[in-house]
């Protein structure tokens, strides 16, 4: 079989505002996504019958529930009904960490199959397929810095920050996202956060400093109440000198910024037992899209 390898990046939420509940049962969000260079590896080959996956990495869902498998089956059912697909997934993005690993895997499989099969689906059709798989999946067809509204699947590209170092704290637990949203207090419609309005202003045409993107996370207080160990990690980062700390998505991972690489390295020693603190860099939209034929023009 002819195998191709593809990198599947994680994301962090630099801002997450929950502004109300929607009639469809989801929550109305205003969030700033940013891809980072922490990546899974996906190998893909065509042949055989049906869709099969081989996974390396702990804590992965059964094949029937795996988003990469669901994406492959959806693509085949719509655009290549007799196609057999083989996947090898090397999982490096923490599962249940709020980093969008499963959604990224699904989007990467859609993009890779579209390329391997000679582009039978238009970009718009691929987008609709991504939305049917999950609210975060369409974002990974875009990458970079983007504002997500609605469920998070309506996207507005943002002027991107320069390459920037962030620090990712990875506690040894997974968060139940459904439980977090079910436990949120009553919400009312709220205006767009001022920091996000500034990013969307007409004067914004060139790169913006990373600090302009850093906001807060409305899920944070609820997660800290349900999972006190995550609050302990937050407190440890602040005590270690982080100038900004926020939960990514619904957690459990936290993303932090320090004034210099040495401060981040010293903070590693202050983490609670079992918590990994690793440096990551922002991944621009251009760097992500250049991996695919349409982005190389």
CATH number at residue 148: 3.30.230.10
Q: Residue 20 pLDDT > 90, yes or no?
A: no
**pLDDT for res 62:** 61
Q: What three-state secondary structure class fits 295?
A: helix
User: What is the mean pLDDT of the segment spanning 140-169?
Assistant: 93
**Band (278; pLDDT cuts 50, 70, 90):** very high
Host H or E run for residue 9: strand 4-21
Question: Domain limits at 176?
Answer: 165-184+219-281
**pLDDT for res 187:** 66
**Claim to verify: residue 74 and residue 129 sit in the same structural domain:** yes
**Claim to verify: residue 17 and residue 147 sit in the same structural domain:** yes
User: What is the mean pLDDT of the segment spanning 1-9?
Assistant: 94
pLDDT in tens, 226-252: 999 999 999 999 999 999 999 999 999
User: What is the mean pLDDT of the segment spanning 253-265?
Assistant: 95
Residue at 214 is within a domain = no
Q: Residue 282 pLDDT > 70, yes or no?
A: yes
**Band (83; pLDDT cuts 50, 70, 90):** very high
More confident residue, 23 or 220: 220
More confident residue, 106 or 57: 106
**pLDDT for res 202:** 60
- What is the domain count for the chain? 2
**Claim to verify: residue 48 and residue 180 sit in the same structural domain:** no
Q: How much is the pTM?
A: 0.93
More confident residue, 195 or 86: 86
Of the candidates 164, 131, 158, the residue with the CA atom closest to the CA atom of residue 144 = 158
Instruction: Output 135-138 pairs: Cβ under 8 A, ≥24 positions apart.
Output: 135/26, 135/103, 136/11, 136/100, 136/103, 137/67, 137/71, 137/103, 137/106, 137/107, 137/110, 138/107
Cis check for the bond before 252: say yes or no (omega within 30 of 0). yes
Residue at 54 is within a domain = yes
More confident residue, 3 or 27: 3
**pLDDT for res 22:** 79
Catalytic residue positions, numbered: 11, 136
Residue 213 CA, chain-centre distance (Å), reads 16
Cβ atoms of 281 and 49 closer than 8 Å = no
Cβ atoms of 3 and 239 closer than 8 Å = no
The 3 state secondary structure assigned to 146-176 is EEEEECCCEEEECCCCCCCEEEEEECCCCCC
């Amino acid at each position: 079989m002819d195998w191709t390898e593809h990198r599947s990046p994680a994301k962090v939420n630099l801002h997450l505002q929950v502004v109300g509940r929607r009639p469809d049962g989801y929550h109305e969000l205003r969030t700033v996504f940013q891809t980072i260079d922490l990546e899974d590896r996906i190998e893909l080959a065509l042949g055989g019958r049906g869709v099969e996956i081989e996974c390396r990495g702990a804590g992965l869902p059964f094949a029937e529930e795996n988003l990469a498998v669901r994406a492959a089956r959806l693509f085949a059912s719509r655009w290549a009904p007799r196609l057999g697909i083989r996947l090898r997934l090397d999982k490096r993005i923490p599962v249940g960490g709020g980093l969008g690993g499963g959604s990224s895997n699904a989007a990467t499989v859609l993009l890779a199959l579209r390329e391997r099969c000679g582009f039978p689906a238009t970009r718009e059709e691929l987008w609709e397929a991504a939305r049917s798989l999950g609210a975060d999946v369409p974002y990974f067809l875009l990458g970079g810095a983007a504002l997500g509204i609605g469920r998070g699947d309506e996207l507005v590209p943002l002027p991107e920050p320069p390459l920037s170092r962030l620090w990712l704290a990875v506690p040894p637990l997974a968060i139940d996202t459904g439980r977090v949203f079910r436990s949120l207090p009553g919400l009312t419609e709220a205006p767009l956060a001022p920091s996000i309005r500034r990013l969307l202003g007409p004067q914004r045409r060139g790169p913006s400093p990373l600090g302009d993107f850093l906001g807060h996370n409305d899920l944070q207080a609820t997660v800290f109440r349900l999972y006190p160990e995550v609050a302990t990690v937050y407190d440890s980062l602040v005590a270690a000198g982080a100038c900004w700390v926020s939960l990514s998505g619904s957690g459990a991972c936290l993303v932090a910024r320090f004034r210099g690489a040495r401060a981040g390295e010293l903070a590693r020693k202050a983490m609670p037992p079992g918590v990994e603190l690793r440096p990551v860099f922002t991944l621009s939209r251009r760097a992500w899209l250049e991996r695919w034929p349409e982005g190389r023009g």
